[in-house]
């Protein structure tokens, strides 16, 4: 490479291209220049490296912004760590790009073990795990429930029956590894020769090469299908709780097992009950007279009505606690009970009966102002008089 070309120019995109435009542009270039399709063509190989490097930088928001601000110098060292010239890296990147290119995946995202991971050399491969967010009501989170959800799963592409090859063609055994998917690499370091086995760089460990990729699936051999999956939501779960459904992730390759599906629950809030971990907190209003004299009342909880005692002289903002009346949840050590917390406010009525008014008037007539306050006010008034005289 004589003079480095601008990464945006390499991919033929504008400076404000979004993630999917970058991906799409790289895919086009990669398809055009991939070594599999251009054997013994050094120019194509250079172009493929150039595009891969540009994609590596521009697809990473952090690296991209450094590049935008400071140019090559800011990202150069970064990229050299990816090993320019190591084709298995490129191929991995390349195949990962095909594996999960379904745009519009907002509720759905690749999870562990997805992109960029090095592959097992050959043979069956486990499918990727998937993560999905799922909304439940407050009550469903408290009491638990069973649900059927439709999950988009990548299946064998029907057009090519999963082979990834266009109609009338079929994948060919890879000449580099004779279909084993493994190649032996020798490295000489000083007097020592290292021999190691790695995924075949030509076929990415698949053992097969596709010359004409299927147009439906772009050679990935996958398409997307909805699958109905049963969720059992245990009682007492909170937002963020993650259900693991084994073998309901993406399908494996070459008869490998399916990945797992992780469902992250998002519980809706409730108009009265608020959760704080395993505690439930509520706010109530009580008549002023009850807060002074104390009393009893019934309060609804998600597990039934409870009788509570309002102690004498309950203050505005005081919290009353009902132990073990909060969230009920099964743990590996047995049942776990949170507390039910009641935040008390005084209620000042906007309308009153004549009788109430009459009684309050009597109370007012015999209630003095708080003595402490009277004393303080007296002092302040005297102070201000004295200051005026002094002035």
Question: Per CB under 5 A, which region of 76-84, 94-102, 193-201, 332-340 contacts Zn ion?
Answer: 193-201
Nearest-approach distance from CB 205 to Zn ion, in angstroms = 7
DSSP 344-364: EEEE--S---HHHHHHHHHHH
Nearest-approach distance from CB 200 to Zn ion, in angstroms = 3
Q: What share of the chain is helix, strand, coil (3-state, %, to 5)?
A: 30, 30, 40
Closer CB to Zn ion, residue 218 or residue 279? 218
| Residue 131 engages Zn ion in binding (rule: CB under 5 A) | no
Angstrom distance (rounded) from CA 143 to CA 235: 4
Nearest-approach distance from CB 232 to Zn ion, in angstroms = 35
| Residue 203 engages Zn ion in binding (rule: CB under 5 A) | yes
| Residue 210 engages Zn ion in binding (rule: CB under 5 A) | no
Question: Per CB under 5 A, which region of 15-23, 72-80, 144-152, 201-209 contacts Zn ion?
Answer: 201-209
* Phi, psi (rounded to 5 degrees) for 281: -125, 135
Site for Zn ion in 331-390 (CB under 5 A): none
Task: Measure the N-to-C terminal CA separation of the chain; round to a whole number of Å.
Answer: 88
Closer CB to Zn ion, residue 176 or residue 279? 176
Q: For Zn ion, which residue of 51, 141, 151, 157 counts as binding (CB under 5 A)?
A: 157
- CA–CA distance from 187 to each of 64, 175, 178, 202 (Å)? 34, 22, 21, 19
Count residues binding Zn ion (CB under 5 A).
12
Q: For Zn ion, which residue of 13, 132, 151, 214 counts as binding (CB under 5 A)?
A: 214
Q: Residue holding tokens 């053992």?
A: 207
Residues in the chain: 391
Nearest-approach distance from CB 203 to Zn ion, in angstroms = 3
Q: Residue holding tokens 């009684």?
A: 359
| Residue 177 engages Zn ion in binding (rule: CB under 5 A) | yes
| Residue 75 engages Zn ion in binding (rule: CB under 5 A) | no
- Both tokens assigned to 256: 């490998």
| Residue 216 engages Zn ion in binding (rule: CB under 5 A) | yes
| Residue 239 engages Zn ion in binding (rule: CB under 5 A) | no
| Residue 217 engages Zn ion in binding (rule: CB under 5 A) | yes
Angstrom distance (rounded) from CA 219 to CA 71: 35
Nearest-approach distance from CB 302 to Zn ion, in angstroms = 50
Closer CB to Zn ion, residue 58 or residue 177? 177
| Residue 198 engages Zn ion in binding (rule: CB under 5 A) | no
Q: For Zn ion, which residue of 57, 75, 141, 174 counts as binding (CB under 5 A)?
A: 174
Nearest-approach distance from CB 248 to Zn ion, in angstroms = 23
| Residue 199 engages Zn ion in binding (rule: CB under 5 A) | no
| Residue 176 engages Zn ion in binding (rule: CB under 5 A) | yes
Which spans in 120-269 are helix H?
138-143
Judge contact between 230 and 147, C-beta under 8 A: yes
* Cβ density class 14-43: b for 16+ within 10 Å, e for less: eeebeeeebbbbbbebbeebbbbbeeeeee
Closer CB to Zn ion, residue 217 or residue 245? 217
| Residue 159 engages Zn ion in binding (rule: CB under 5 A) | yes
**Nearest Cα residue to 338 out of 268, 267, 274, 277:** 277
| Residue 200 engages Zn ion in binding (rule: CB under 5 A) | yes
Q: For Zn ion, which residue of 99, 154, 202, 275 counts as binding (CB under 5 A)?
A: 202
Question: Per CB under 5 A, which region of 66-74, 203-211, 281-289, 311-319 contacts Zn ion?
Answer: 203-211
Question: Per CB under 5 A, which region of 101-109, 147-155, 211-219, 239-247 contacts Zn ion?
Answer: 211-219
Angstrom distance (rounded) from CA 80 to CA 91: 17
Q: For Zn ion, which residue of 151, 160, 280, 310 counts as binding (CB under 5 A)?
A: 160
In the chain, beta strands by DSSP E: 108-110, 130-136, 145-156, 172-173, 182-189, 192-199, 208-209, 222-233, 242-245, 261-267, 274-276, 279-287, 295-301, 304-310, 319-322, 328-331, 334-337, 340-347
Burial of 69 (0-12, 13-18, 19+ CB in 10 A): exposed
Closer CB to Zn ion, residue 59 or residue 216? 216
Binding site for Zn ion (CB under 5 A): 157, 159-160, 174, 176-177, 200, 202-203, 214, 216-217
């Amino acid at each position: 490479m004589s003079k480095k070309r601008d990464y945006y120019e390499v991919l033929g995109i504008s400076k404000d291209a979004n993630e999917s435009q970058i991906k799409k542009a790289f895919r086009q270039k990669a398809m055009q220049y991939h070594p599999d399709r251009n054997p013994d063509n050094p120019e194509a190989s250079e172009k493929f490296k150039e595009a891969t490097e540009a994609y590596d930088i521009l697809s990473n928001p952090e690296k991209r912004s450094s590049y935008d601000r400071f140019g090559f110098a800011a990202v150069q060292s970064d990229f050299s760590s990816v090993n320019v010239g190591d084709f298995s890296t490129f191929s991995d990147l390349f195949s990962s790009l095909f594996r999960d290119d379904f745009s519009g995946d907002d509720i759905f995202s690749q999870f562990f073990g997805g992109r960029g991971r090095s592959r097992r050399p050959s043979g069956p491969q486990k499918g990727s795990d998937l993560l999905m967010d799922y909304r439940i009501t407050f009550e469903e989170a408290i009491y638990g429930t069973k649900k059927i959800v439709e999950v988009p799963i990548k299946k064998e592409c029907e057009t090519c029956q999963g082979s990834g090859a266009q109609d009338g063609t079929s994948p060919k055994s890879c000449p580099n590894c004779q279909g084993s998917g493994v190649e032996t690499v020798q490295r000489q370091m000083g007097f020592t020769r290292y021999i190691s086995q790695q995924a075949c760089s030509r076929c990415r460990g698949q053992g097969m090469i596709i010359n004409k990729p299927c147009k439906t699936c772009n050679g990935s051999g996958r398409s997307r299908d909805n699958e109905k999956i049963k969720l059992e939501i245990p009682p007492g779960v909170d937002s963020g709780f993650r259900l693991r459904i084994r073998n309901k992730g993406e399908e494996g390759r070459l008869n490998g097992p399916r990945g797992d599906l992780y469902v992250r629950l998002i519980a809706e809030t409730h108009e009265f009950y608020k959760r704080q971990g395993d505690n439930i907190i509520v706010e109530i209003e009580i008549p002023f007279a009850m807060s002074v004299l104390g009393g009893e009342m019934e309060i609804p909880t998600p597990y039934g009505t409870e009788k509570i005692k309002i102690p004498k002289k309950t203050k505005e903002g005081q919290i009353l606690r009902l132990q073990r009346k909060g969230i009920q949840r099964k743990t590996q050590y047995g049942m776990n009970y949170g507390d039910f917390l009641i935040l008390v406010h005084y209620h000042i009525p906007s309308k009153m009966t004549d009788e109430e008014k009459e009684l309050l008037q009597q109370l007012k007539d015999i209630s003095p102002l708080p003595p402490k306050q009277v004393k303080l006010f007296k002092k302040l008034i005297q102070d201000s008089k004295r200051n005026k005289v002094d002035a």
